[in-house]
Amino acid sequence: MHPTLIFLLVVSIVGSAQSQTWAGTYTADPSCNTANCCCFSGQIVVIKTPPNTYGLTSKVAGMCFMFTSISGSTTLTGYTGSLTMSGVPIYLQLSPDSRNITATSPLSSTCIARATKV
């Protein structure tokens, strides 16, 4: 491979690793089990308020303590963050390519809710 091309590839991989972008609209992954879990439903919208505060809004479906939507704001640095839904912590993880959000809760360790950027 040409040395310049290798250099460009390295730079773009390092660049994308450092600049995660949580903000955007995501679509809930239907694989989440609503019979046992609280799952994202429809679209999840993440809005950035500089420097590091993010607002997250989503409909939810399944075993969600009677909730039909969640919204909250959180400080996100890097690729992990957390929200609280009526006292229940929700851990958020962004994939290295900033395309997928994975949400888990310590209350139901087998439940994983995923969403992919539109």
Interface residue list for ligand NAG (CB under 6 A): 29, 95, 97, 99-100, 116
CB 70 within 8 A of CB 45: no
Least spacing, CB of residue 66 vs ligand NAG, in Å? 28
Termini Cα distance of the chain: 33
Least spacing, CB of residue 105 vs ligand NAG, in Å? 19
Least spacing, CB of residue 33 vs ligand NAG, in Å? 15
Residue with smaller CB distance to ligand NAG, 7 or 97:
97
Strand partners, 28: 115
Please give the structure tokens belonging to residue 27. 């679509």
Please give the structure tokens belonging to residue 3. 């040395």
Residue with smaller CB distance to ligand NAG, 4 or 31:
31
Residue with smaller CB distance to ligand NAG, 74 or 98:
98
Using CA atoms, how far apart are residues 1 and 16, in angstroms rounded to an integer? 22
